[in-house]
């Protein structure tokens, strides 16, 4: 997907995005638990996982 010269940059960007979400998620989930509902973080996670699956399928679906 990326050229060999850009592999390190691609890995760095990917890991930075992943770690950024991991630092923000507990704060958002805590707010959802406290201010809105005890179930909202779980529903939000389910929607995000469904979107993740759909994006993965749409980007990597087999050629017909």
Closest Cα to residue 31, out of 46, 50, 44? 44
Residue with tokens 């010269």: 5
pLDDT computed for residue 19 by the predictor:
93
Q: What is the pLDDT of residues 12-61, one digit of tens each?
A: 998 998 899 899 999 999 999 999 999 999 999 999 999 999 999 998 88
DSSP state at residue 50 = H
Closest Cα to residue 42, out of 52, 32, 27, 51? 32
How many domains does the structure of the chain reveal?
1
Instruction: Enter the pTM of the model.
Output: 0.65
Structural domain boundaries enclosing 54? 4-60
Inform me whether the pLDDT recorded for 1 exceeds 80.
no
């Amino acid at each position: 997907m990326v050229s060999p010269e850009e592999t390190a940059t691609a890995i760095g960007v990917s890991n930075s995005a992943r770690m950024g979400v991991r630092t923000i998620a507990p704060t958002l989930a805590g707010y959802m638990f406290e201010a809105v509902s005890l179930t909202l973080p779980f529903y939000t996670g389910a929607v995000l996982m469904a979107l993740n699956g759909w994006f993965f399928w749409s980007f990597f679906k087999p050629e017909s």
